[in-house]
Chains A and B, each alone.
Chain A
């Protein structure tokens, strides 16, 4: 299976329009539609961005790992999976970074400090670095495209296997040795109906945005590959031309 485009043009257009519509809806609901939180005040509104970002971070890495597995499995091996894995990991790093920054911005007024050694924060930070390393690895050029793609796919899976271990060990660490001080129940009251709706809109909007960006990043990877092919054709012509001159 080889494809120049991830989504059919009509699908991409629909996704693009829906992304804009849902993002506008998110802004409206997030800033005005949803009521102000009684305990956290307006700071709570950051959650409408933070929660979807965190969700996308995990989704993106799950897609990277799945695509890598599909690439490694011989029967489904195709460049499309390698490119999807790479594109999704980059978006994953972006959303993870966003989730961390937004969480920090939210934490300052609500907790009183920028950073807390909360289990979820720590494991998200580790996730960020895990896949930042993966992206750094992908950027290193190789003379053996199949070999490099295989290497990257294995690296993605090795890193992904670590995610649950990181998650549980960090969770354990923060609960075994000190009771949760940050997330006391009072800070998490019953979620208001409109608040829940806004969170849902945010999640849908970010997921659509992810799909749209994934498609664009995929296209970019195809073009980069095409350019490399053209350059190679020139290099070969030049090399064999030199030969003709000698003999």
Chain B
């Protein structure tokens, strides 16, 4: 099975701070990977790097066959990320926001209807973003990500601020992902909710990754292990 994500001793900077200081990660297609770790470990940076929103500083980084140094736009077309923020516009309604991202991805009204339905937005779809409740916003963020039909879905603390309905929706989306040909990487603090959904767990700490003992029963694939190795400080500046 081909690798969806392949990172080797990746250093990623936030300003001058090495948020990732030599991270390794292999994720196979169809996996549901849980990324755990303390605050400030570099989990969000890891997701943003994989999403193609941040450029690696050094190391090897490939996502869906695209090199993250030169080919981030192509990678992003197949990836969706649900972050702490909704990425939505305050003055547009929930549905208009979903419509915008659908149209941008060349998708039609049918896709919008289906996704708005799937996250159970109901009448809230007609409310402008600034008028939505926290729970509704979380579901909208999920809808905006799903409407593009991504091959790789990245979830950053998806359980935070989620209401009961939202948890159900999210669990369904994550469980259905492998069947829909979708790989999921989620960062979560709420391990008791997230662990049952995941097929594997990786721990991030101090900007590096370490494998967590595989949860035998849920492992579908003996996916490549994560290792810790010394990062190279040589920047890969000039291609």
A229 to B236, CA, bound (A): 12
Q: Which residues of A contact B208 (CB under 8 A)?
A: 240, 243
A52 to B210, CA, bound (A): 62
* A242-B55 contact, Cβ under 8 Å, with A229-B233, A232-B13, A232-B18: no
Q: Which residues of B contact A247 (CB under 8 A)?
A: 205, 210
What 0/1 readout, one digit per residue, does chain B (116-140) give for beta carbons within 8 Å of chain A?
0000000000000000000000000
A45 to B15, CA, bound (A): 50
B22–A79 CB distance below 8 A? no
- What's the nearest-Cβ distance from chain B to residue A87, in Å? 18
Q: Which residue of A lies closest to B56 (CB)?
A: A144
- What's the nearest-Cβ distance from chain B to residue A242, in Å? 5
What 0/1 readout, one digit per residue, does chain B (2-32) give for beta carbons within 8 Å of chain A?
0000000001011111100110000000000
B205–A243 CB distance below 8 A? yes
Q: Which residue of B lies closest to A77 (CB)?
A: B238
* A143-B14 contact, Cβ under 8 Å, with A74-B239, A240-B21: yes
Task: Choose among A74, A77, A146, A243 the residue that contacts B69 (Cβ–Cβ < 8 A).
Answer: A146
* A235-B16 contact, Cβ under 8 Å, with A147-B55, A246-B205: yes
A240–B14 CB distance below 8 A? no
B233–A233 CB distance below 8 A? yes
Which residues between 31 and 77 of chain A lie within 8 Å of chain B, taking CB atoms? Answer: 74, 77
A143–B205 CB distance below 8 A? no
* A246-B206 contact, Cβ under 8 Å, with A74-B239, A146-B69, A239-B18: yes
A2 to B210, CA, bound (A): 35
Q: Which residues of A contact B69 (CB under 8 A)?
A: 146
- Select the residue from B14, B55, B230, B237 with max chain A CB neighbours within 10 A: B237
B interface residues, how many (CB within 8 angstroms) = 26
A229 to B22, CA, bound (A): 15
A247 to B54, CA, bound (A): 27
Which residues between 1 and 34 of chain A lie within 8 Å of chain B, taking CB atoms? Answer: 2
Which residues between 193 and 217 of chain B lie within 8 Å of chain A, taking CB atoms? Answer: 205-208, 210
Q: Which residues of A contact B22 (CB under 8 A)?
A: 236, 240
A126 to B235, CA, bound (A): 37
- What's the nearest-Cβ distance from chain B to residue A96, in Å? 30
A144 to B55, CA, bound (A): 6
Which residues between 217 and 247 of chain A lie within 8 Å of chain B, taking CB atoms? Answer: 228-229, 231-233, 235-236, 239-244, 246-247
Which residues between 62 and 100 of chain A lie within 8 Å of chain B, taking CB atoms? Answer: 74, 77-79
Task: Choose among A78, A144, A242 the residue that contacts B206 (Cβ–Cβ < 8 A).
Answer: A242
- What's the nearest-Cβ distance from chain B to residue A145, in Å? 5
Q: Which residue of B lies closest to A229 (CB)?
A: B233
- Select the residue from A2, A79, A232 with max chain B CB neighbours within 10 A: A232
* A235-B237 contact, Cβ under 8 Å, with A146-B55, A147-B55: no
Q: Which residue of B lies closest to A147 (CB)?
A: B55
- Select the residue from A77, A78, A144, A244 with max chain B CB neighbours within 10 A: A144
Q: Which residues of A contact B11 (CB under 8 A)?
A: 232, 236
B231–A236 CB distance below 8 A? yes
Which residues between 50 and 74 of chain B lie within 8 Å of chain A, taking CB atoms? Answer: 54-55, 57, 69
A2–B238 CB distance below 8 A? yes
Q: Which residues of B contact A147 (CB under 8 A)?
A: 55
Q: Which residues of A contact B16 (CB under 8 A)?
A: 141, 143, 228, 231-232, 235
Task: Choose among B18, B205, B239 the residue that contacts A236 (Cβ–Cβ < 8 A).
Answer: B18
- What's the nearest-Cβ distance from chain A to residue B229, in Å? 10
What 0/1 readout, one digit per residue, does chain B (73-112) give for beta carbons within 8 Å of chain A?
0000000000000000000000000000000000000000
A232 to B232, CA, bound (A): 11
A246 to B207, CA, bound (A): 12
- What's the nearest-Cβ distance from chain A to residue B8, in Å? 15
A236–B235 CB distance below 8 A? no
Task: Choose among B38, B207, B238, B239 the residue that contacts A240 (Cβ–Cβ < 8 A).
Answer: B207
- Select the residue from B15, B230, B238 with max chain A CB neighbours within 10 A: B238
* Besides A229-B235, A243-B208, 6 other A-B contacts (C-beta < 8 A): A143-B57, A228-B16, A232-B233, A235-B16, A236-B231, A247-B205
